[in-house]
Structure 1
Amino acid sequence: MSSGFVRNNINQFAVVYRLADFLLIQLSLMLAASIHPTALSVHYQLIGLIGCTAYLLCAELFWLYRSWRAGTTKEILFYTVFSWAISAVIVLGFLFMTKTSSDYSRTILTTWMLLSPVALCLWRIGMRYFLFHVRRRGYNTRSVGIIGMNDTALELIKELARNPETGFRIAAIYDDRDESRLPVPAGMTLGGKIDQAIKAVNEGKLDQIFITLPMTANKRVEQVLHQLGDTNAEVHFVPNFFVYNLVHSRLCNVGQMQTISVFDTPMRGATIAVKRLEDIFLSLAILSVIALPMLIIALAIKLTSKGPVIFKQNRYGVDGKKIRVWKFRSMTVTENGDQVTQATQNDSRVTKVGAFIRKTSLDELPQFFNVLQGKMSVVGPRPHAVAHNEMYRKTVKYYMLRHRIKPGITGWAQVNGWRGETDTLEKMQMRVKYDLDYIRNWSLWFDFKIVLFTFAKGFVGKNVY
């Protein structure tokens, strides 16, 4: 992006964080050795260096050194611990591959691997709340001017109000239109015409400018950017993209020209491998627990009704490609054609065993094998029968964007109550809304929350028949 018009923002504290992390990991190793008196030989120095290097690389991978002004503390701690967990596995893998584990004290290694994440988390919490404190007291803040009073500006104002720890303080709003025509919110100051904003910047009264003029006013936007290009203010252009249903948009390059991908996928580069490792680990762990219950369910189905134990149905996977999804058979029919009738309350096609396993979602358990096959994920939008896809893609806006990532066994829509029968168009619209929200905001932390919510409330639902 360095050659384009838009450049990435670099967190000025990133170097401090990297240095602090390096020192804390090394100090944790020294403390572990002092608790269990042992000289820090070159062997310990080597694994200390490996642990630090692995952690710094993992932290970079999960963007831990980006600006967290608007991020959550839980998310920061999650990625800190997760990065260290991977680093610990790398260290243990090194000891195993080099057959040098006998050269180290297991007590010291265990103590080090427990002390390090605690130190890393405490340091981050302390630094984070220190910055929050100083910003609330008026230090480390940025004076902000907004050019353009419209719906985009109102959304921006709400976001800044919801996140006071960012340190952004709105000084004034500027617009060329008459004040009587502007939806100026209570407590906000209209600083005058746009020329007044340029003057305020030149006088050093504004540190940052947010331009929220509509994209249709491209000539005026160009004029304002040209004027601000002769100042030292940091300028942000906020296009009114929120009127569109963007799905994980990102900046791209075509030669020297920058474009914006509006219907993209969060699964790019290393995130594909991370998501796949998450799926393999979770599916293997869960299958080891549910193997016996699955055997009991299979026997119950076989002994109580005619037909196969496993029902394989065509559904759409990532990028709209057809996949075969496995389920325990819960009906007397196995519909898989152009017409598939959804199960309704007191549906005569549902078997006695089927009624129970559908209500408790136990019929979905074989899909963990689909996850191991790589066709599905543990967390993602629920896949629908092909017949239902073809029907809803014509009636629900952006329906097919659900397929930008792999379908999942559980999802954001399901834990929010939108599972089971979709007997009205509004129900499907709400399901799609939550599915797109998941794709737009995907992260490992988001997946972790959904898994926890699924165990807490996601197995049953009032609309599941």
Structure 2
Amino acid sequence: MSRSTHLTILQYVLGQELPRRIADTAILAIAAQIVAYLQLHMPLSLAAPVHTVLLYFCCALAFVLFAQLDLYTAWPERPAASMFMRLAVSWALVLILGIFLSRMVHGIGRLSHHWLLYWYMTSMLLLLLYRAFSYVTLVRLRKLRLGGKRVVIVGYGQAGREIHRRALQQPWIGYDVKAVVANADEAGILHDAHITRIEQLNQIHGYVLANQIDEIWITLPMTAAAQLRPLQIYLRNSLVDIRWVPDTKAIQMISSKMSNFLGTPTFDLNRPASSGASGIAKHFLDKLFALAVLMALSPLFLALALCIKMSSPGPVFFKQVRLGLNGKKFMIYKFRSMKPHQEHGKLTQATQDDPRVTRIGKFMRHFSLDELPQFINVLLGDMSVIGPRPHALQHNQMYEELLDLYMVRHRVKPGITGWAQIHGYRGETDTLEKMEKRVQFDMHYIQNWSFLMDFRILVWTAFKGWSGKSAY
């Protein structure tokens, strides 16, 4: 192989996700062995078996979860402090889950705590050094213009601008946009004077030949479908790679993942990020967490139940039908915070200083303690710990006609807390603008879900989200 070929392979190994995932897993295994020799003075295979069990579990979890925790997406563009925190939290989460799984199959009484601590610290150091080396090497390769490809983008609408932005964000991959085919409106958005504007489709082939172009990216919107046939004719003699990037963002849905359906490539426009194997893992983690909370807070449940019974006549729990996953109805549980009353066919939201709210109810609402019985719903599988809040049926009927994507919230399980709630959109929604903003945050969560995002919401809720001015 030539020197250029070797460098291209190196660029792939350091720049692509799968090789980096393999490298991270190998680093964890190597660090475990190094620490075993230094701390236990023996190979890991001769130590208590729990060490090897933990290593296997953590390596498997890291290979799967590090990608889910967004450690490989445009990582060189992130600030060093942000990358360090994300890596530290992700590795800690993997280690905690590994310890939990190890305990289920093997006792951890003989696990060396010193080995565990130094394994975490050594792994962090090696993972950071690997990322620093990768970044410096990729930048160096890019400066040498090794393996770089010259590109023409056909169409500079939303999809064209997005793919251009991503190419600029990841310069180590080596794509250099030299020209765009854009109409007058799109050209006004193009501010880079070094990028040529091609006005007509029939001019593309000549430009490709004259400027040694390597790839053409077609990003025309769906409204420009009529141009695809003549474009195919104009490019039939262009002997370069041609990629089609469909403008699926023009359709307001929650995803644009491509899959193989009946042997045909299709786009899944309505599949949430938490589907598939990740969704199964989230389901089981929800149930484990809910069970732990219910066991730990059982004395508080009993105390609140007694206070509710003493404050006013009526049941301890308030029950109401809500919509769950894919619109399936379920019965939600809350601690009753109001005096028994009739709605007379019209739902009236609680307002500030609402006379229907009892004294203990006001206290519970302020700290969101009335929501705690929903961990029972999580245990039953009707809800998730994290997700969009379930609204009353009357609100669903009202807002599904007013907000385009309102009902898409029900493509995931509703949650006890969520992305909208930790950003202040909780409690009363007395205006369309408030509900619209809440739905926007819910959609962001559904489209960008990850285990790390759930962890952030959970921590934020524990320290900030359980009380606030809008909780009454």
The TM-score with structure 1 as length reference comes to 0.82
Find the aligned partners of 1:180 and 1:358 in 2 and give their Cα distance: 51
User: Within the alignment, does 1:318 sit opposite 2:325 as a pair?
Assistant: yes
3-state DSSP of counterpart to 2:385: strand
Residue of 122, 125, 133 corresponding to 2:128: 122
Residue identity opposite 1:27 in structure 2: I
**Corresponding residue for residue 398 of structure 1:** 405
Q: CA deviation at 1:86?
A: 3.9
Show the 5 A alignment for 1:29-44.
Answer: 29-40=32-43, 42-43=45-46
**Corresponding residue for residue 183 of structure 1:** 188
Q: CA deviation at 1:311?
A: 0.8
Deviations 1:252-291 (CA, angstroms, capped at 9, x unpaired): 3332222212122334331122112331343344445543
Alpha carbons of structure 1 residues 46 and 463: separation in structure 2 relative to 1, 3 Å: closer
Q: CA deviation at 1:297?
A: 2.4
User: Within the alignment, does 1:250 sit opposite 2:257 as a pair?
Assistant: yes
Alpha carbons of structure 1 residues 335 and 17: separation in structure 2 relative to 1, 3 Å: farther
Alpha carbons of structure 1 residues 217 and 136: separation in structure 2 relative to 1, 3 Å: same
Alpha carbons of structure 1 residues 423 and 207: separation in structure 2 relative to 1, 3 Å: same
Contact kept, 8 Å, 2:248 with 2:256, in 1: the verdict is no
Residue identity opposite 1:70 in structure 2: A
Residue of 58, 68, 72 corresponding to 1:68: 72
Contact kept, 8 Å, 1:25 with 1:48, in 2: the verdict is no
Find the aligned partners of 1:248 and 1:148 in 2 and give their Cα distance: 22
Contact kept, 8 Å, 1:211 with 1:236, in 2: the verdict is yes
Residue identity opposite 2:280 in structure 1: A
Residue identity opposite 2:382 in structure 1: K
**Corresponding residue for residue 5 of structure 2:** none
Find the aligned partners of 1:180 and 1:403 in 2 and give their Cα distance: 37
Residue identity opposite 2:428 in structure 1: E
3-state DSSP of counterpart to 1:325: strand
Q: CA deviation at 1:415?
A: 1.3
Residue identity opposite 2:36 in structure 1: A
**Unaligned 5+ residue runs, structure 2?**
1-11
Q: CA deviation at 1:133?
A: 4.4
Deviations 1:89-128 (CA, angstroms, capped at 9, x unpaired): 55555544xxxx79x7735753564356425532454245
Find the aligned partners of 2:169 and 2:350 in 1 and give their Cα distance: 42
Q: CA deviation at 1:52?
A: 5.9
Find the aligned partners of 2:332 and 2:344 in 1 and give their Cα distance: 14
User: Within the alignment, does 1:302 sit opposite 2:309 as a pair?
Assistant: yes
Deviations 1:401-454 (CA, angstroms, capped at 9, x unpaired): 111111001111111121111111121111111111111111111111212222
Q: CA deviation at 1:155?
A: 4.4
**Corresponding residue for residue 453 of structure 1:** 460
Find the aligned partners of 2:438 and 2:188 in 1 and give their Cα distance: 33
User: Within the alignment, does 1:110 sit opposite 2:116 as a pair?
Assistant: yes
Show the 5 A alignment for 1:401-416.
Answer: 401-416=408-423
3-state DSSP of counterpart to 2:72: coil
Show the 5 A alignment for 1:278-357.
Answer: 278-333=285-340, 338-357=345-364
Alpha carbons of structure 1 residues 243 and 131: separation in structure 2 relative to 1, 3 Å: farther
Contact kept, 8 Å, 1:283 with 1:372, in 2: the verdict is yes
Deviations 1:171-200 (CA, angstroms, capped at 9, x unpaired): 22124x5x5884242224333244554445
User: Within the alignment, does 1:172 sit opposite 2:179 as a pair?
Assistant: yes
**Corresponding residue for residue 359 of structure 1:** 366
Residue identity opposite 1:244 in structure 2: I
Residue identity opposite 2:285 in structure 1: E
Q: CA deviation at 1:78?
A: 4.5
Q: CA deviation at 1:161?
A: 5.5
Q: CA deviation at 1:351?
A: 1.4
Residue identity opposite 1:185 in structure 2: L
Show the 5 A alignment for 1:1-80.
Answer: 13-14=16-17, 16-17=19-20, 20-40=23-43, 42-43=45-46, 54-62=57-65, 64=67, 68-71=72-75, 73=83, 75=86, 78-80=89-91
Contact kept, 8 Å, 2:254 with 2:443, in 1: the verdict is yes
Show the 5 A alignment for 1:129-148.
Answer: 129-130=135-136, 133-134=139-140, 137=143, 142-148=149-155
Find the aligned partners of 2:370 and 2:226 in 1 and give their Cα distance: 58
62-71 vs 183-192, which moves further: 62-71
Instruction: Give the paired residue count.
Output: 449
Residue identity opposite 2:415 in structure 1: G
Residue identity opposite 1:186 in structure 2: H
Alpha carbons of structure 1 residues 248 and 336: separation in structure 2 relative to 1, 3 Å: farther
Contact kept, 8 Å, 1:382 with 1:408, in 2: the verdict is yes
Contact kept, 8 Å, 1:47 with 1:91, in 2: the verdict is yes
Q: CA deviation at 1:374?
A: 1.5
3-state DSSP of counterpart to 1:428: helix
**Unaligned 5+ residue runs, structure 1?**
1-9
Percent identity among equivalent residues?
A: 32
Find the aligned partners of 2:378 and 2:138 in 1 and give their Cα distance: 42
Alpha carbons of structure 1 residues 200 and 337: separation in structure 2 relative to 1, 3 Å: farther
Q: CA deviation at 1:88?
A: 4.7
Q: CA deviation at 1:376?
A: 0.9
39-48 vs 335-344, which moves further: 39-48
Residue of 147, 150, 167 corresponding to 2:157: 150
Alpha carbons of structure 1 residues 163 and 77: separation in structure 2 relative to 1, 3 Å: farther
Find the aligned partners of 1:45 and 1:190 in 2 and give their Cα distance: 65
3-state DSSP of counterpart to 1:393: helix
Contact kept, 8 Å, 1:314 with 1:336, in 2: the verdict is no
Q: CA deviation at 1:15?
A: 6.0
Q: CA deviation at 1:18?
A: 5.1
Contact kept, 8 Å, 1:411 with 1:435, in 2: the verdict is yes
3-state DSSP of counterpart to 1:400: helix
3-state DSSP of counterpart to 2:320: strand
3-state DSSP of counterpart to 2:440: helix
Residue identity opposite 1:451 in structure 2: L
Residue of 192, 206, 217 corresponding to 2:224: 217
